[in-house]
């Protein structure tokens, strides 16, 4: 997969790996929802921590200006894919991602060299 990914996708994977638990409070989503934590309210009890990690990553990227040399389109695409990768770390969604991956493998349709969405599946 290394040779099939662009430099930007490699950077995306690295940033997602580094930030997927950014500012983790040390409790799980269920605890935040049961205790009606402000994060649970903010993210409407949907992938609460993962949404928080993504928002923290966005703030860090904005403050660091590390993506300023990208075009507006590439930056927007980077953020979209970063969100997908970080939200994919929600353990309650793992069966969904595994099923998608297995379906691609079993059907012989996994084309990670030519299909950006399939590369994203591989990165998840």
Q: Which domain holds residue 15?
A: 2-123
pLDDT of residue 63: 97
CB 24 within 8 A of CB 53: yes
Q: Convert the pLDDT of each residue in 41-51 to its tens digit.
A: 999 999 999 99
pTM score, two decimals? 0.87
**d(Cα 31, Cα 29) in Å, to the nearest integer?**
5
Q: Convert the pLDDT of each residue in 51-101 to its tens digit.
A: 999 999 999 999 999 999 999 999 999 999 999 999 999 999 888 888 888
CB 85 within 8 A of CB 124: yes
Any idea what the CATH number is for the domain that residue 39 is in?
A: 1.10.1300.10
20 annotated binding-site participant: yes
**d(Cα 7, Cα 56) in Å, to the nearest integer?**
23
Split into its structural domains, the chain has a count of 1
């Amino acid at each position: 997969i290394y040779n099939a990914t662009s430099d930007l996708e490699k950077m995306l994977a690295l940033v997602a790996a580094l930030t997927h638990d950014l500012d983790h409070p040390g409790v799980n989503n269920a605890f935040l929802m049961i205790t009606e934590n402000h994060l649970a309210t903010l993210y409407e009890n949907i992938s609460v921590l993962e949404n928080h990690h993504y928002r923290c990553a966005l703030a860090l990227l904005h403050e660091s200006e590390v993506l300023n040399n990208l075009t507006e389109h590439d930056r927007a695409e980077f953020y979209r894919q970063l969100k997908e990768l970080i939200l994919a770390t929600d353990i309650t969604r793992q069966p969904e991602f595994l099923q998608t991956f297995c379906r691609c493998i079993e059907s012989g349709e996994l084309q990670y060299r030519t299909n950006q969405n399939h590369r994203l599946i591989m990165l998840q």
